[in-house]
C-alpha cells in the first residue's frame, strides 16, 4: 500500500535533484493501523531538474492541453491515497468546455459561472490548476490531501473555502509554497515534508476507549438471536442480565453513572445508536452503519470526565442519520468531534476552570438537532489580542494558528462537506443566554 506524491506544475522544480536526494522516499508512515509507503507518482511529479531534464522517475510537467487532459482524467478516476500539489497557472494549457464537462456542474459552480464556456474563461485566467483541484475534491474514491501551490493572493483563501465545501469527506485543503518556484532548496523540501507529516498526523486511530476490542462481536447481525447484548429488540426492551451488564460496564468506562446508563438502555433510540457505534458491523469496523447524531454523544462523554449533563439526556431522536460515508471518514469525524469537545471542556487558555456542559436532542421545523452548550461566551476573545470565536467564523480562510478552539472547529468542518451525500451534517456556533449568562452553543443538524 502506498501514498503517492503528486506535483501538477508547468515547469520542473529548480531543486529536483536536491529534493530526490534528501527526501526519504520511499519511506513508511502509519495511517490508522496500516503502514503505507510514501513514494513519487510515476508520472505526475514535476521533480525533474530544470537544468538536467527529467530525473528518470517519470517526471511530467503540464505545459500543454494534451498533458492537462491526461492529468484531469487521472484526478477523476484515481482510487488510492495521494498528496497533491496543484499550481494555479499552467502556461501552455487552454481549458475548454469539454474539460469543464468532464468535471461536471461542480466546475461551473466553483467558477461562479452560468455555463461551461463561462467557467472555461475563469480557469483560463491563470487558474488552470484549480480545475485539477476541483476534480480531486470531487473524487470520492480516493483519500487525497490537496495543496494549492501558489502565493498569498487575494483569491486564495476564498478558493480554499470553496474547495472545502465541495470536497468529499476526509480531505485536507491547504495552501503551500509553489515547489518549483520556492525560494531555496531547503524550503522546497520542507513543503513536501510538512504535507507528508500532516497526512499521517491527521489519520490516527482514535483512543481504543471508544471502540474496545471486547465489544467487537456485539450486535453481530448474522442471525436473529445473536449473543448478548443483542437482545434488546426481541425482549420488549427488557435486557438479559448478561447484556445489561456488558452495556452498563461499557458506559461506565465513558463516565456514565450506572443509574443513568440504566435509563438510557430502556430507550429504543439509544439502543439503535449504540448498535451503529459498537460491534462488528458498526462504523468503527466496516462503515456499514451510518453515522448518527447520537454517535456524537460518545466523543462528548469521552472528552468530559464528569458528564452530569448525561442525567438529563433523552434519546428520542438520537438515531437521525447525519452522514453516509466510509469507515475512515466516519472515524475521522468522531476523532475531530472529540478533539473539539476536549478543547471546549478543558481549562481555557486564560486559566478559567473547565466549562460546564449541557447537551440535548431536539426536533425543530427544519430537522433534527443535537445541541451542545458550553459555559463560555464565544462573542468575546480569549485575550485582548484575539478576535472572538464568533467573529473568526465570519472570516473566510482563517489561519489555523491562534485560538485552539478555532483550530479544532475548522478541523471538524474540513471533514463534513460532501455535496454528493444526501444527508449532510451542518455545524453552527452561536451564543445563547442561560440563567442570565452567555454560553456558546454547537448546533449539529441532521438532514435525512
How many CA atoms are closer than 13 Å to the CA of 341, on its beta-carbon side?
A: 25
Torsion of CA 95, 101, 104, 110, to 10 degrees: 30
Nearest CA among 166, 45, 46, 42 for reference residue 103? 166
Backbone angles phi and psi of 146, in degrees to 5: -115, 125
Domain-located, residue 235: yes
Contacts of 21 (CB under 8 A, 6+ apart): none
**Residue 210 CB neighbour total at 10 angstroms:** 22
Domain-located, residue 269: yes
Domain-located, residue 52: yes
DSSP secondary structure letter of residue 53: B
- 275 and 182 in a common domain: no
Helix (H) / strand (E) element for 342: namely helix 327-345
- 442 and 420 in a common domain: yes
Phi-psi domain of 3 (left: phi exceeds 0; alpha: psi -120 through 50; beta: other): beta
DSSP per-residue string spanning 386-428? S--HHHHTTSTT--SSS-HHHHHHHHHHTTS--TT-SS-EEEE
Q: How many residues comprise the chain?
A: 448
- Among 201, 229, 258, identify where a domain stops: 201
- 292 and 154 in a common domain: no
- 410 and 269 in a common domain: yes
CA dist 317 and 419 (Å) reads 24
Residue with cell 463560555: 376
Domain-located, residue 131: yes
The burial of 135, by beta-carbon neighbours within 10 Å (0-12 exposed, 13-18 middle, 19 or more buried), is given as buried
- 300 and 269 in a common domain: yes
- 279 and 197 in a common domain: no
Number of structural domains the chain divides into: 2
Q: What is the pLDDT of residue 213?
A: 74
CA dist 426 and 416 (Å) reads 8
Beta bridge partners of 49: 53
Domain-located, residue 207: no
Domain-located, residue 206: no
Domain-located, residue 208: no
- Among 160, 179, 201, identify where a domain stops: 201
- 122 and 15 in a common domain: yes
Q: What is the pLDDT of residue 198?
A: 78
CA dist 235 and 34 (Å) reads 40
- In this structure, are residues 390 and 403 in contact, taking their beta carbons and an 8 Å threshold? no
- 107 and 36 in a common domain: yes
- 228 and 193 in a common domain: no
Q: Which domain range does residue 296 map to? A: 213-446
- 197 and 73 in a common domain: yes
- 253 and 374 in a common domain: yes
CA dist 140 and 421 (Å) reads 10
List the pLDDT tens digit at each of the 448 positions of the chain.
Answer: 889 999 999 888 877 778 888 887 777 777 766 788 888 888 888 877 665 555 556 688 899 999 999 999 999 999 888 999 999 999 999 999 999 999 999 999 999 999 999 999 999 999 999 999 999 998 888 888 999 987 656 688 888 888 887 876 667 888 888 777 776 788 888 888 888 887 876 666 555 567 877 777 777 655 444 444 555 544 344 444 457 778 888 898 888 988 999 899 888 889 889 888 887 778 777 777 778 899 999 999 988 877 889 999 999 888 888 765 566 667 777 887 888 888 788 755 444 445 789 999 998 888 889 999 988 777 765 544 445 565 555 443 333 344 556 666 666 665 554 433 333 456 778 888 888 888 888 888 886 5
Domain-located, residue 124: yes
Task: Please give the order of strands across the beta sheet that includes 173-176.
Answer: 27-31, 34-40, 2-8, 81-87, 143-149, 173-176
The C-alpha cell of 290 is what? 451510518
- Among 201, 235, 256, identify where a domain stops: 201
Q: What is the pLDDT of residue 329?
A: 67
- 418 and 274 in a common domain: yes
Amino acid at each position: 500500500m502506498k501514498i503517492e506524491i503528486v506535483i501538477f506544475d508547468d515547469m520542473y522544480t529548480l531543486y529536483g535533484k536536491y529534493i530526490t536526494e534528501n527526501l526519504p522516499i520511499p519511506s513508511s508512515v502509519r495511517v490508522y493501523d496500516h503502514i503505507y509507503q510514501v513514494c513519487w507518482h510515476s508520472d505526475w511529479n514535476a521533480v525533474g531538474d530544470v537544468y538536467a531534464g527529467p530525473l528518470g522517475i517519470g517526471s511530467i510537467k503540464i505545459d500543454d492541453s494534451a498533458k492537462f487532459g491526461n492529468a484531469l482524467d487521472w484526478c477523476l478516476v484515481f482510487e488510492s491515497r495521494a498528496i497533491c500539489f496543484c499550481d494555479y497557472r499552467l502556461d501552455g494549457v487552454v481549458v475548454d468546455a469539454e474539460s469543464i464537462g468532464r468535471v461536471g456542474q461542480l466546475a461551473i459552480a466553483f467558477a461562479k459561472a452560468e455555463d461551461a464556456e463561462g467557467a472555461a474563461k475563469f480557469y483560463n485566467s491563470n487558474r488552470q490548476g484549480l480545475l485539477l483541484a476541483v476534480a480531486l475534491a470531487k473524487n470520492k474514491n480516493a483519500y487525497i490531501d490537496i495543496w494549492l501551490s501558489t502565493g498569498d493572493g487575494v483569491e486564495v483563501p476564498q478558493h480554499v473555502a470553496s474547495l472545502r465545501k465541495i470536497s468529499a469527506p476526509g480531505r485536507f485543503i491547504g495552501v503551500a509554497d509553489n515547489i518549483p518556484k520556492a525560494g531555496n532548496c531547503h524550503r522546497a523540501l520542507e513543503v513536501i515534508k510538512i504535507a507528508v507529516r500532516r497526512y499521517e498526523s491527521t489519520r490516527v486511530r482514535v483512543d481504543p476507549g471508544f471502540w474496545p476490542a471486547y465489544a467487537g462481536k456485539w450486535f453481530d447481525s448474522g442471525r436473529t438471536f445473536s449473543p448478548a447484548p443483542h437482545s434488546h429488540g426481541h425482549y420488549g426492551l427488557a435486557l438479559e442480565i448478561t447484556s445489561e451488564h456488558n452495556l452498563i460496564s461499557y458506559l461506565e468506562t465513558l463516565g456514565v453513572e450506572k443509574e443513568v446508563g440504566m435509563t438510557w438502555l430502556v430507550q429504543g433510540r439509544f439502543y439503535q445508536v449504540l448498535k451503529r457505534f459498537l460491534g462488528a458491523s458498526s462504523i468503527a469496523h466496516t462503515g456499514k452503519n451510518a453515522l448518527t447524531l447520537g454517535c456524537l454523544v460518545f466523543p462528548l462523554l469521552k472528552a468530559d470526565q464528569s458528564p452530569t449533563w448525561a442525567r438529563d439526556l433523552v434519546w428520542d431522536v438520537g438515531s437521525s442519520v447525519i452522514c453516509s460515508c466510509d469507515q475512515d471518514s466516519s472515524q475521522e469525524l468522531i476523532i475531530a468531534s472529540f478533539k473539539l469537545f476536549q478543547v471546549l471542556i478543558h481549562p481555557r487558555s486564560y486559566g478559567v476552570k473547565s466549562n460546564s456542559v449541557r447537551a440535548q436532542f431536539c426536533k425543530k421545523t427544519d430537522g433534527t438537532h443535537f445541541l451542545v452548550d458550553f459555559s463560555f461566551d464565544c462573542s468575546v476573545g480569549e485575550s485582548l489580542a484575539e478576535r472572538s470565536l464568533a467573529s473568526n467564523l465570519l472570516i473566510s480562510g482563517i489561519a489555523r494558528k491562534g485560538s485552539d478552539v478555532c483550530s479544532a472547529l475548522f478541523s471538524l468542518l474540513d471533514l463534513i462537506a460532501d455535496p454528493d451525500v444526501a444527508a449532510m451534517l451542518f455545524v453552527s456556533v452561536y451564543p445563547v443566554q442561560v440563567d442570565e449568562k452567555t454560553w456558546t452553543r454547537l448546533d449539529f443538524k441532521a438532514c435525512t
